[in-house]
Amino acid sequence: MVKKKDKGVLTYINLEPTHAKDPRLRPKLEEDFKTELTAGVPEMVSRLAKLEPLISHEVGEYADFIMEADRAFMHGLWRGVIALLGIAAEGFTDSLYGQITHVRSATGEEIAKEKLFGRDDYMPRQRTLEVLRLFGLIDNGTYDKLVRIRKLRDMYVHPQVNGHDSERDAQECMTLFRVVLKERFDARYTIRQGKIVPRQEPDGT
């Protein structure tokens, strides 16, 4: 007979909202925040220096999540970074998948993609990536990076085991997604005379 040990009850208490609402306590809270933020600025800038600059000419709504992820990275909010980049990566793949409207069969007939793959909002993420790779909208390298980002995101959104190095995983996630966007930009665009212009096709068009 195994006797289970008594476990204590963990309690989370955050009284800062109460202090923020109290005119007597708010000035002290503001001063504490200013002191904390000022002290943390050098480390925030050091974290920012770890990131590569990013230019992406085909951005959708997921760009907002990238910017929020950058800010979370500066503050060392590693799990937030991973979650935000997971959302950004999903938005990126959704925007690419939206470019597919019809599929041409071997007989030349055009078939609406919904008849082949079902409704967009019912498409599993893995299947979406497979379709994007099949139609050449992403290459094998991009496919592998997006799969890895999704795996990292799932590890934290649906945690099953503890002990992950969240800082390392956040840095990996950040690097992977920035490489995906950079490689896509470099393959399709260039900067000429300070302007972003499409690269010329092999035939010169």
pLDDT-based confidence at 2, cuts 50/70/90? very low
Single-letter code of the amino acid located at 175: T
Q: What is the pTM of this model?
A: 0.82
Count H helices, E strands: the chain? Answer: 8, 4
Percentage of residues in the chain with pLDDT exceeding 70? 86
What amino acid occupies position 79? Answer: R
Separation between Cα atoms, residue 173 and residue 92, nearest integer Å = 14
Look up tokens 């212009």; give the residue: 197
For the chain, the average pLDDT equals 85
Which residue reads 């041409």 in tokens?
Answer: 104
Sole residue written with tokens 């904390």: 36
The answer, yes or no, to whether residue 177 has pLDDT greater than 50, is: yes
Classified as helix, coil or strand, 80 is: helix
